[in-house]
Structure 1
């Protein structure tokens, strides 16, 4: 009986040791797998954090009247609070949609930072004046009174039209440059939801395409066309943006003017490089000249490399 008990104990001990060895091996494998993520993939995955921070704050403030500092302070990583963000005057349905977007963006921040180190939230300018400047530039003249993105449903949706689409074109552009399956899988997941957000925004605006945006006298469709033209101009990458109503030759299969989803001649999403994105979100048309939504510039190795070049040149 004693020998049987001893044998059983020995077997149990061997089993326990084997399980511990397997756990340690798995941990080492995971750690090594993370270390093998190419540096270029890390840089390309960190760059979108700039846009994800912007979207998270804009949607969160618009729906809840609060941002990351109150709702998910760990995600901000100590970065400065955004300038001018505030709660929007939204109808129940639009508020609910924007609230969903906000929480989705929180998830995007978590997903990226789970894969790469990330960086603190950069300084963001989400003031009404910042959006008013974009609209003024889009129309080539000051709109009076100044455009207020937080005033009502239509204004907020038009302001939202400015944001997610730029990010999704960046994901399309980054995907073929990625090397690891981990990075590709993450970008595919991010792109899917970002594209969905843009589709919802465009659909809500398309429903109101012929409605005039008060008190300006321009229709919703005209606003989207002007914004898209401005982004094409600033990005300097050719036609990579289209409004809600286009010439039939530019629509799907060259046969329709309605353009609820933007795409090339094959109805594939347009792509943008980090340089093109910086030119747009800075509002300057230059990847090395901060401004617009990023008064002090974007963060991450890619964005900082352009700012470093300016410092070297001035030095």
Structure 2
């Protein structure tokens, strides 16, 4: 629906998300973690929100191209702020249901970029590597071997859902980690509202994958659940801050109240969302495990003051 966001009308939901976000930050980041996970960054509210735009650009371009075969330059070019077009993005071979869901996600990400741009200003779209080769490298690293044929996210609906599993959750935990450091209520309202949709997207993707958990992903002789467990483990390894990412089927010790093996919503021992620092986010999306070393989805690094400061630290 093409409407300007009215954040004040959803205040109860926003406040619920505030408590969820603050609880998540408190429950899974101790003082002993800070040197490894990233010291608190001195930054304005606007800079913190703009850092999140890097993830929103990634999601917008991947979903728009996957569903429609075209991206921001075709739909809302002003939001790209003159940034380079993504590399390797293409239309995916999706079934009608998945195509409709991904198209909706794509337009939601356009709305997110527009909301941030309107409220705090924007950053230039960073160079994004959305090529099948880049996704193939990520999957190879996750499973610990070179997949043959190389994993292609655009080949079919299952592959695209597994590739999508890599993206919204990172934005979600980043927003959770951001809220406690925001000082202005309007900034908190904006981020909490964005978080609500990001968490919804992640839940939809995880549910779609859970429905297919035991399906073997051809021709790799691995199930959907195994792929999610391995890609989650890779993100934990890259971020270097313990378990903050879990697949769709887990040991009961990681399930809700230690009683479930289903894991449609990834959460900590209190069923509160995990949070990540900008340093952790950069390590994951760069694929290098080093917030100062760009690569992966961001060959030249993310944009904005926080991203630049991490590269120069």
Alignment partner of 1:226 is 2:230: yes
State the match for 2:243 in structure 1.
Answer: 239
Judge conservation of contact 2:254–2:269 (CA < 8 Å) in 1.
yes
Q: Deviations over 1:225-268 (max 9, x none)?
A: 00000000000111100001100111000011011110001111
Alignment partner of 1:103 is 2:107: yes
Q: Please state how far the C-alpha of 1:117 moved relative to its aligned partner.
A: 2.0
Match of 1:180 among 176, 181, 184: 184
Match of 2:87 among 83, 88, 93: 83
State the match for 1:12 in structure 2.
Answer: none
Alignment partner of 1:286 is 2:265: no
Give the Cα separation in 2 of the matches to 1:250 and 1:305. Answer: 35
State the match for 2:138 in structure 1.
Answer: 134
Give the Cα separation in 1 of the matches to 2:233 and 2:192. Answer: 27
State the match for 1:25 in structure 2.
Answer: none
Structure 1 gaps of 5+ residues are: 1-37, 310-315
TM superposition score normalised by structure 2: 0.86
Structure 2 gaps of 5+ residues are: 1-41
User: Which deviates the most, 71-80 or 163-172?
Assistant: 71-80
Alignment partner of 1:248 is 2:244: no
Match of 2:125 among 96, 121, 124: 121
Structure 1's 39 and 239: CA in aligned 2 closer, same or farther, altered over 3 A?
Answer: closer
State the match for 1:66 in structure 2.
Answer: 70
The number of residues matched between the two structures is: 272
Higher relative contact order (CA closer than 8 Å, sequence separation 6+): 2
Q: Deviations over 1:93-134 (max 9, x none)?
A: 000000000000000000001111221100000000010011
Judge conservation of contact 2:87–2:128 (CA < 8 Å) in 1.
yes
State the match for 1:22 in structure 2.
Answer: none
Judge conservation of contact 2:177–2:277 (CA < 8 Å) in 1.
yes
State the match for 2:156 in structure 1.
Answer: 152
Please tell me the root mean square deviation across aligned C-alpha atoms, in Å: 0.9
Query: Aligned to 2:44, what secondary structure does the other structure show?
Result: helix
State the match for 2:280 in structure 1.
Answer: 276
Give the Cα separation in 1 of the matches to 2:310 and 2:201. Answer: 30
Judge conservation of contact 2:43–2:306 (CA < 8 Å) in 1.
no
Give the Cα separation in 1 of the matches to 2:48 and 2:85. Answer: 24
Give the Cα separation in 2 of the matches to 1:117 and 1:199. Answer: 29
Judge conservation of contact 2:67–2:99 (CA < 8 Å) in 1.
yes
TM superposition score normalised by structure 1: 0.85
Give the Cα separation in 1 of the matches to 2:176 and 2:121. Answer: 22
State the match for 1:162 in structure 2.
Answer: 166
Give the Cα separation in 2 of the matches to 1:306 and 1:56. Answer: 24
Q: Deviations over 1:280-314 (max 9, x none)?
A: 000000000000000000001110012233xxxxx
Give the Cα separation in 2 of the matches to 1:52 and 1:45. Answer: 11
Q: Deviations over 1:30-53 (max 9, x none)?
A: xxxxxxxx9620111100000000
